[in-house]
Amino acid sequence: MHLTDNQLNEYLDEATNERAQIESHLSSCDECAARLSTLQSLFVEIESLPEQALTRNLAAPFTLRPSLPVPQLPTFLTLTVILQAAIALIVLIIAAPFVIQLIPAIEMPSLPNIFSQLQSQWTSWLDILSTFQVPSIPEIPILEMSSLAFVLAGVSVLWILGNGLLLRNQMK
């Protein structure tokens, strides 16, 4: 009796416990040996199927996640920011007396006062135009003003320098 298809399949799948029996039949039966050979070549053919290439990268959703680590500022830049704040504070303290001195001078006039001032300035302007006389310049505390301007300029320069440094490093 010839081998069944199941026997041949199990033999090739190495899932039979009648191996010796099958092999002895195969060695004496050309017909079954030919059937086995045909089945085996089918296996080879199925398993020879070449792999195809992908057209997209499946790793992209994992490598391009938005949860990238937040970039940290270098330590010296963090120190620069603190130093900048400290210097600005010191400068403000130094500048404070000048500012206080100036505050009484900046009196907010009431609304009628403004109108009367505007009116008198307008008439004086008309006066100047008609007489071509140089008006008298009111006295200004030149020393205090120039010190304050100097301090404010110093603060601005420090501020701009510090920010410029930060921006330049972020752009790199």
Q: What 8-state DSSP symbol labels residue 92?
A: H
When binding is defined by CB under 5 A, the residue of 8, 32, 98, 162 that contacts Zn ion is 32
Contact call for residue 10 and other proteins (CB under 8 A): yes
Report which of 16, 54, 102 is spatially closest to residue 8, judged by C-alpha positions.
Answer: 16
When binding is defined by CB under 8 A, the residue of 24, 37, 40, 57 that contacts other proteins is 57
CB 48 within 8 A of CB 143: no
Stretch that binds Zn ion, among 2-10, 14-22, 50-58, 65-73 (CB under 5 A): 2-10
Q: How far is the CB of 3 from other proteins (least distance, A)?
A: 13
With CB under 5 to 8 Å by kind, the binding choice for 32 among other proteins, Zn ion, none is Zn ion
CB 166 within 8 A of CB 80: yes
Burial class (CB in 10 A: 0-12, 13-18, 19+), 122: exposed
Please report, as ranges, the residues that interact with Zn ion according to CB under 5 A: 2, 29, 32
